[in-house]
Chain A
Amino acid sequence: MSVAHCGDFRQTYREDMKVLETRFIRVSVGAFVVLLYLFPLAAGNYLTSTVTTIAIAVIGALGINIVTGFTGQISLGHGAFMGVGAFACSYYMRVAHLPFWVAMPAAGITTAAVGMVFGLPSARLKGLYLAIATLAAQFILQYLFVHMDFVTGGSNGIVSPPPEIGSFAFDGDRSKYYLTVTIAVMAVLFTTNLIRSRDGRAFIAVRDHYLSAEIMGVPLFKYRLLSFAISAFYAGIAGSLWGVYTGYLSAEQFTIAESINYLAMIIIGGLGSVLGSIFGAIFMTLLPQILTVGTGALAGIFPKIGFLIMSFKEGIFGLIVILFLIFEPDGLAHRWRLIKSYWKLFPFSY
């Protein structure tokens, strides 16, 4: 096992730019990625598609973490932005006959443009007021999903065609998994680098103290808008992949509940942390499923009170979330750091 310095002893810029600092971290992250790619070979289709949904949630959570966690602008429209991406991608593929590989980035850019429009109020509004403005985005977009029949299929929804390379269609659970996980890994890498860049530091400055940031020469409006655009771009990509995953899109899939879900993900995972986005996405995707399957199985064992057990599910979910917020206010990413430092010094913690 290799060791990190206990201070800042970097001597070259190259060293300073390293994401994975020690060999141990490099090896374990590499092993994790390799395992991620081997996973579908060992797991069944159900687990494979569960991880696919986690990967989509990771991309979405990274997006909202950029605007809310790093730049400090609360966004309550993330679910609707995902919808914009999903419908746009499907539209480009069905109507403009673009291949998925062009349609997905195009959908991302479309969503970024929409995100910028709804990010405009951030020039004047902060905090709760901005939250309400983005809430309006959620409802306006939802209205458009139902009424722009020619793009979204209206209330009947619309088919989202699978991506293709030549004659190979990504319509199986495994191929969807590889596509989504690859893009999620890219998104994680991009975000990690983004927040180390000039723009990323500007985001954090805007969040931490907007007045100081402006005095230091950070144009507030530009960076707020930029963070909305990037965040929406992620949502657009996540939405496109969601379309690939479900094969069918309807306005009912992109409601305020979805937006809140994403906000909850980054609060539970850790605001302003890439790792936190990943943890939050895993937690918020797996917990309801574990509860559903668990209470379903329990209900099968105790058929007399089966429905009662199933009704506990939502309550337990809420309780776990509340307990997490009380005992883990800095998110799972913080707990992860504590666990790491505990083992680093084990058994001599002082």
Chain B
Amino acid sequence: MKRFLSLAAVAAVAVLARPVQAQEIVIGNLADITGGTGDVGKPYAEGIKAYTDYINANGGINGKKIKLLQQDYAYKIPEALSLYKKFKDQDKVLAIQGWGSGDTEALKEQVAKDQIPYFSASYSAHLTDPTKSPYNFFCAPDYSTAARAALKYLKDSWKEKRKPKVAFIYPDNGYGKAPIPGAKKYAEEIGFDIVGEENVDLKAIEATTQLLNLKKNEPDYAWVGGTKVSTAVILKDAKKLGLKTKFFGNIWSADEATPKLANGAEEGYMIVLGAALYGEQVPGMKVIEKVSGGQPVASHWVRGWVSMMTMCEVLKIADKAKELTGPGIKKAAETLKAFETQGLTAPITITPNDHRPTMTVSLGEFVGGKLVKKATIELPRKAEWLGL
């Protein structure tokens, strides 16, 4: 009986573990399609899938095809953990395209131990310090750099004699809090007065209490560190209460759908852009337009596309060096020097001591219900900002 059952277990494992073809590169993708962040997670995952199909149809990785295993973890960390084990042990993935802060943070120790490069859509600055998270990568300005760039732009365009006043509104979670210490320090350095800090939850349906608190101090600017639903709530309530504040926010705080949610209150809202907007005149956008068949795609879609594009570039380098392994991919990623993503993002540079992909930040603004590109800010790659 015992022997029979262990044989049965072996057979079950053998059936479950699919054989991997030699000329295939297996990449896992932990995606949120149905979970709490599914509204932005789905287009991101679609972007990843679209680029994979595109590269497979256009020569693959030096002739090798990519096999992308997309799995929906619905933003549940236990599911992300067990899917990660499946990716690692059964599917033997070489690298992983991950998603939010929940899964990325929960897995960062493990991917370092298992030497599996992990490209995330969580852009927390502390993931850029290779001494702490050596196998984590991403392809957009980190949250802190983004906040600094936006602050710099606002300061530079400030005309009055007095110091500008800034407040910070963010959800009380990892994503919301990540850029705040760095941003506050920088704001003080370049001559802002910090006049308020409020927490608005990602699922908030009103923010009047917090905004009334802010109204007393009349901030000229307020940072919004949430996601697009909470941002729309803040903007609408601010309009209702008659705040004169100009709001500006993090990369996930708004997108092309915001005008529909905020119903006009988004006018003048400034946002950090992680990638080119649909229809922008850059070479990479021509390809996307062809792939999407002329259907506009969200900026999250483009970021997924770029993340996969960067990963593929890294895989090509690693493959050429005959080092298609976890450490080999990490090494290859750390040789990226001003990698042009066909103009879809600022050039990406990653070094062994610094995983900040770029210090160039684009800012967009909502004008007349449309998200348009406004400015590009270049920050110095200061060592003391790494990981903060």
Contacts and interface: CB of A to CB of B under 8 A. Distances in A.
Contacts of A253: 77-78, 106
B121 to A, nearest CB: 16
B13 A43 contact: yes
B72 A53 contact: no
Contacts of B46: 307
A42 B13 contact: yes
Given A156-B105, A250-B174, A296 B79 contact: no
A300 B67 CA distance: 10
Given A155-B172, A252-B102, A288-B79, A296 B109 contact: no
Interface stretch (A33-41, A104-112, A268-276): A33-41
Interface size grouping (class) on chain B: 35 or more
Nearest to B1: A31
B64 interface: no
Main secondary structure of the interface of B (DSSP, over half): helix
A164 B176 CA distance: 36
Interface-centre pick from B9, B72, B77, B176 (highest chain A CB count, 10 A)? B72
Contact of A307 (B9, B45, B101): B45
A246 interface: yes
Nearest to B43: A307
Contacts of A338: none
Contact of A146 (B5, B173, B178): B173
A199 to B, nearest CB: 32
Interface stretch (A44-52, A83-91, A205-213): A44-52
B201 to A, nearest CB: 11
A295 B71 CA distance: 8
Interface in B265-287: none
B175 to A, nearest CB: 8
Contacts of A300: 69-70
B176 to A, nearest CB: 8
A299 B70 contact: yes
Contact of A293 (B2, B71, B76): B71
Nearest to A311: B34
Given A156-B105, A247-B109, A292-B73, A42 B78 contact: no
Given A252-B102, A307-B46, A314-B74, A45 B9 contact: no
B295 interface: no
Given A292-B71, A296-B69, A311-B72, 16 more contacts: A39-B9, A44-B89, A45-B85, A53-B78, A155-B177, A156-B174, A246-B77, A248-B105, A250-B105, A251-B173, A252-B101, A289-B82, A292-B72, A307-B42, A307-B46, A313-B34
B69 to A, nearest CB: 7
Nearest to A257: B76
Interface-centre pick from B82, B102, B126, B176 (highest chain A CB count, 10 A)? B82
Nearest to B18: A297
Nearest to A34: B2
Contacts of A246: 77, 81, 106
A159 B174 CA distance: 15
A99 interface: no
Interface size grouping (class) on chain A: 35 or more
Nearest to B110: A247
Contact of A46 (B76, B90, B107, B173): B90
Q: What are the 8 closest A-B residue pairs judged by CB atoms, nearest first?
A: A42-B9, A45-B89, A155-B174, A42-B6, A296-B71, A310-B72, A46-B89, A155-B177
B49 interface: yes
Contacts of A306: 49, 70
Interface-centre pick from A34, A44, A159, A314 (highest chain B CB count, 10 A)? A44
Given A35-B5, A156-B174, A311-B34, A46 B105 contact: no
Interface string B10-43: 1011001100000000000001011000000010
A1 B195 CA distance: 79
Contacts of A296: 69-72
Main secondary structure of the interface of A (DSSP, over half): helix
A173 B88 CA distance: 12
Contacts of A250: 77, 102, 105-106, 174
Contacts of B239: none
B70 A53 contact: no
Contacts of A50: 82, 85
Nearest to B72: A310
Interface string B172-214: 1110111000000000000000000000000000000000000
A329 interface: no
A157 B126 CA distance: 12
A16 to B, nearest CB: 31
B2 A313 contact: no
Interface string A241-280: 0000111101111000100000000000000000000000
Interface in A115-168: 146, 154-157, 159
B301 to A, nearest CB: 12
Contacts of A31: 1-2
Contact of B173 (A35, A155, A257): A155
Interface in A164-202: 173
15 contacts: A34-B2, A35-B2, A44-B16, A45-B85, A45-B89, A154-B177, A248-B105, A248-B110, A250-B105, A288-B79, A292-B79, A306-B70, A307-B45, A311-B34, A314-B74
B173 A252 contact: yes
B33 A157 contact: no
Contacts of B109: 159, 247-248
Nearest to B174: A155
B312 interface: no
A211 to B, nearest CB: 41
